[in-house]
Structure 1
Amino acid sequence: MRVAVIGANGGIGRELLPRLADAGHDPVGVVRDESQFEAVRERGGEPRLGDLKGEFASALEDADAVVFTAGSGGDTGWDETLLVDLWGARRTVDACVERGVDRYVMISAYQASEPLAEPEALRPYRVAKRCADDHLEQSSLDATVLRPTALTDGEGTGRISATFEYRDGGGDDIPRADVAEAVVACLANNETIGETIRLFGGDDPVEEAIRPHD
């Protein structure tokens, strides 16, 4: 499967590219600047240019699936959050519909289901994520939404904890590497299509944790 990773130079994207390659996929790393091309190649991906605030749709050429793991970053203002995390994400969904790219995995955020929850400072970010998620869920795409809790740069463990929206549950911070592993597992398991899954650090093997249970 050719998988286009939007935000390939971000924390999760960098972990995801080699894992996709190891799983037998053909990863495409969509980045904003040609200076990032070599890093994408080193991680096993084919680099392509794409700017969520400009032209990016050509980067999805021949893709079978898209993973959205881009973000405006904590050092930018809410204007960038609207342009990237909300409007940029929506544009990628629409581009997939137009191009017939059916499979889509969205990296969202914990508590996007409850944007007005504490802490107050994160409310605009969670609103942006929730609106992007809603647009995806209302589309015709075969979608999975992942909502990880606070992210760390720790070593991946291959073990997590997961709960399915809107069921109770919580857990520890999660390494970006394990979120990347969860993306690969979701692409391999069509039972995750149509699901919104919250991810935490935990003790369950990733493939088991993301499997829907009655």
Structure 2
Amino acid sequence: MNVLVAGANGNTGRLLIQFLHEAGYEAYGMVRKEEQKQKISELGGTPVLADLEGDVGHAAKGMNAVIFAAGSGSNTGPDKTTDVDRDGAINLVKATENFGIKKFIMMSSIGAGRDPEVMATDNPNMKHYLQMKKEADEYLMQTELDYTIVRPGGLTHDPGTSKIKVADEVEFENIPREDVAKTMIAAIQEPNTFHKAFEMVSGNTQIEDALKQV
């Protein structure tokens, strides 16, 4: 199965490429710069040069599933957040539909399914980010794709435990990026996650079992 990862050069994206390769998938990593391609190859993936803010049709062609794991980053302004986290995600969703690909997995954010005004009470800088994530998620939900929207809590570089907690809404806690990546990969072929969005943090339930209870 061919799986495209948008944001493959990011911290979670690189884990996705590595874990997809280890799980026997053909991993394709979308990157924006020529110098980023080598790292994707080293992780066992095939690099694809494309920009979410431009034409991504050639990147989606021939894929069986698409994972959006891109983000504008914490050092960019609101305009870039809009361009990448909302418009870039929607751009990739449209390309996925155009090629008849059914499976799309979105890495969103905890709180994106709630009221951004309320969620950003303690951190006003998060309001725009959550609003853009929310709008991208809502666009995806209106499609006929077999989507899964994963909304993790605070991302860490701690070793994964493969144990998580999922629900429509969970209390904000942290979760290792490794466990988020493994959850998104498990969702590719877990029908119980199709057409669903859920928040997730570290917990006591094995990933596969947790997804069957979503």
Structure-1-length-normalised TM-score: 0.95
Question: CA-atom RMSD, angstroms?
Answer: 1.1
What is the total number of aligned residue pairs between the two structures? 210
Distance (whole Å) between structure 1 residues aligned to residue 99 and residue 182 of structure 2: 27
Give 1:72's aligned residue: 72
Give 2:23's aligned residue: 23
SS at match of 1:143: strand
SS at match of 2:41: helix
Q: 2:159 aligns with which of 147, 155, 166?
A: 155
Give 2:149's aligned residue: 145
Query: Aligned-pair distance for 1:171?
Result: 5.3
Query: Percent same amino acid among aligned pairs?
Result: 36
**Residues 5 and 30, structure 2, Cα contact 8 Å, conserved in 1:** yes
SS at match of 1:37: helix
Aligned AA (2:144)? S
Q: Structure 1's 171 and 159: CA in aligned 2 closer, same or farther, altered over 3 A?
A: farther
In the alignment, structure 1 segments of 5+ residues that lack a partner are: none
**Residues 53 and 91, structure 2, Cα contact 8 Å, conserved in 1:** no
Deviation string for 1:36-75 (max 9, x for gaps)?
1110011111100110112222011200000000000000
Structure-2-length-normalised TM-score: 0.95
Distance (whole Å) between structure 2 residues aligned to residue 28 and residue 41 of structure 1: 9
Deviation string for 1:105-154 (max 9, x for gaps)?
00000000121122322010000000000000001111000000110111
Give 1:42's aligned residue: 42
Aligned AA (2:194)? I
Query: Aligned-pair distance for 1:204?
Result: 1.2
Aligned AA (1:96)? T
Segments of 4+ in structure 1 off by > 2 A? 168-172
Distance (whole Å) between structure 2 residues aligned to residue 169 and residue 97 of structure 1: 31
In the alignment, structure 2 segments of 5+ residues that lack a partner are: none
Give yes or no for the alignment of 1:184 onto 2:188. no
Give yes or no for the alignment of 1:172 onto 2:173. yes
Give yes or no for the alignment of 1:193 onto 2:194. yes
Aligned AA (2:165)? S
Distance (whole Å) between structure 2 residues aligned to residue 209 and residue 161 of structure 1: 7
Distance (whole Å) between structure 2 residues aligned to residue 132 and residue 212 of structure 1: 25
Query: Aligned-pair distance for 1:212?
Result: 2.9
**Residues 2 and 25, structure 1, Cα contact 8 Å, conserved in 2:** yes
SS at match of 1:146: strand
